[in-house]
């Protein structure tokens, strides 16, 4: 028999012993980046040159990143890259959005997984699950995806929710309306937990530390690609798989739009070993499917730079895919990207080091 997860007991986020603070992690873009080996520096310069070429041609530059890029303090550097027009789309996973919100609202994030799973408090923090879920439920009424809903919550310091009686009238009067499922899911949460309608004020004192908010501020497309049960918001009684799935599906469509602008462009995958390769290969296939129907050529001429800490299975991924009897064949974050049509380069590198050196190269170049 399945347990009733609406009975989960959550605690105030401020009571959690958080392991990192905004002040301790943020890296000023002007700081000199740590040195890197000459061979690696050459590859980073190659990525910088590819981005300059892509942006001069009006092609997309898409950054996929994992939560550690945020936790390593790269937000201010990414803000400069967005403000300079060097990034046209950013995509992260659910964890990337959760740490982003916690830094923006509380100024600190991360917890001891080992200790808190054992006592049942891991992820069971009220404000994180409450406000993220309400942002997604409210954003869905405006056909906003996960990234846009979260960005607006942080940038606007709140979210507007219709009164329950208004939602009830809309559902009854327009049962076939495309927004009826979203309205019904929000209504269910509001009635279950006794929530009134109106403006819900959620002040974010550290929004400068939020990649989601800065993307929203600069009008840069930002998507979040979650999994059901992957993230700590699943440990909250407000959790709605329907809302998470709807927001993620809208963001997948948005990502496909970005991928359609990728001819001659650049893909950067920084510290995202699972989400980035899986989501990119499906979005690229969808785009090429639609292009084929329209008599258009598949996406081509793009360059892919994959950054992670492993040694790449001791394989030169710029050559070709390894055979199945080679251990490197099973490195998904390399193998998938090597199959995506563009020239792929793997860089064994700390993600912050890569982004910081990339910004140093691009900051000295004329704006695109």
pLDDT attached to residue 82: 98
pLDDT attached to residue 312: 86
Helices and strands counted in the chain (H then E): 15, 10
pLDDT attached to residue 364: 86
Per-residue tokens: 27: 């890296």
322 vs 10, 271, 344, CA distance in Å? Answer: 47, 21, 14
CB–CB of 259/60 below 8 Å? yes
Per-residue tokens: 230: 């992957």
Q: In tens digits, what is the pLDDT along the chain, a chain of 368 residues?
A: 899 999 999 999 999 999 999 999 999 999 999 999 999 999 999 999 999 999 999 999 999 999 999 999 999 999 999 999 999 999 999 999 999 999 999 999 999 999 999 999 999 999 999 999 999 999 999 999 999 999 999 999 999 999 999 999 999 999 999 999 999 999 999 999 999 999 999 999 999 999 999 999 999 999 999 999 999 999 999 999 999 999 999 999 999 999 999 999 999 999 999 999 999 999 999 999 999 999 999 999 999 999 999 888 888 888 788 999 999 898 888 999 999 999 999 999 999 999 999 999 999 878 78
pLDDT attached to residue 179: 97
Phi, psi for residue 308 in degrees, rounded to 5? -160, 175
Closest CA to 43 of 316, 337, 336, 324: 316
pLDDT attached to residue 365: 79
pLDDT attached to residue 348: 93
196 vs 168, 184, 189, 286, 303, CA distance in Å? Answer: 13, 15, 11, 40, 49
CB–CB of 209/22 below 8 Å? yes
Structural domains of the chain, ranges and CATH numbers in brackets: 33-88+261-362 (3.40.50), 93-240 (no CATH)
d(CA 53, CA 25): 32
Per-residue tokens: 199: 């403006």
pLDDT attached to residue 24: 96
pLDDT attached to residue 368: 83
Region of 236 (left: φ > 0; alpha: ψ -120 to 50; beta: rest) is beta
Sign of CA dihedral 330, 91, 250, 198: positive
Residue carrying the six token digits 């409210």 = 138
The enclosing H or E element of 241 equals: helix 241-259
Angle between helices 126-140 and 94-106 (to 10 degrees): 110
């Amino acid at each position: 028999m399945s347990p009733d997860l609406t009975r989960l007991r959550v605690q105030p986020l401020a009571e959690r012993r958080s392991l990192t603070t905004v002040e301790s992690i943020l890296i000023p873009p002007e700081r000199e980046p740590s040195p890197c080996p000459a061979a690696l520096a050459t590859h980073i310069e190659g990525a910088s040159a590819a981005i300059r070429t892509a942006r001069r041609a009006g092609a997309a530059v898409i950054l996929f990143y994992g939560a550690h890029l945020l936790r390593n303090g790269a937000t201010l550097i990414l803000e400069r890259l967005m403000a300079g027009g060097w990034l046209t789309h950013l995509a992260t996973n659910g964890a990337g959005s959760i740490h982003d919100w916690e830094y923006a609202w509380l100024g600190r994030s991360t917890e001891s997984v080992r200790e808190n799973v054992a006592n049942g408090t891991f992820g069971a923090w009220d404000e994180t699950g409450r406000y993220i879920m309400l942002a997604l439920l409210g954003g869905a009424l405006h056909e906003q995806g996960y990234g846009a809903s979260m960005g607006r919550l942080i940038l606007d310091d709140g979210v507007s929710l219709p009164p329950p009686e208004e939602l009830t009238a809309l559902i009854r009067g327009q049962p076939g309306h495309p927004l009826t499922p979203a309205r019904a899911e929000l209504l269910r949460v509001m009635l279950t937990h006794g929530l009134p309608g109106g403006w819900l004020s959620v002040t974010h004192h550290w929004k400068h530390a939020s990649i989601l908010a800065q993307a929203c501020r600069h009008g840069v497309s930002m998507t979040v690609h979650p999994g059901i049960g992957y993230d700590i918001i699943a440990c909250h009684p407000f959790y709605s798989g329907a809302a998470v799935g709807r927001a993620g599906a809208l963001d997948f469509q948005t990502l496909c739009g970005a991928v359609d602008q990728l001819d001659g462009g650049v893909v950067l995958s920084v510290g995202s070993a699972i989400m980035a390769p899986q989501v990119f290969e499906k979005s690229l296939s969808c785009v090429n499917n639609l292009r084929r129907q329209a008599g258009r050529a598949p996406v081509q001429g793009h360059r892919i730079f994959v950054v992670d800490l492993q040694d790449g299975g001791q394989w030169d991924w710029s050559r070709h895919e390894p055979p199945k009897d080679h251990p490197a064949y099973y490195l998904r974050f390399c193998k998938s990207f090597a199959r995506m049509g563009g020239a792929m380069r793997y860089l064994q590198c700390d993600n912050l080091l890569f982004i910081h050196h990339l910004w140093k190269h691009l900051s000295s170049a004329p704006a695109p």
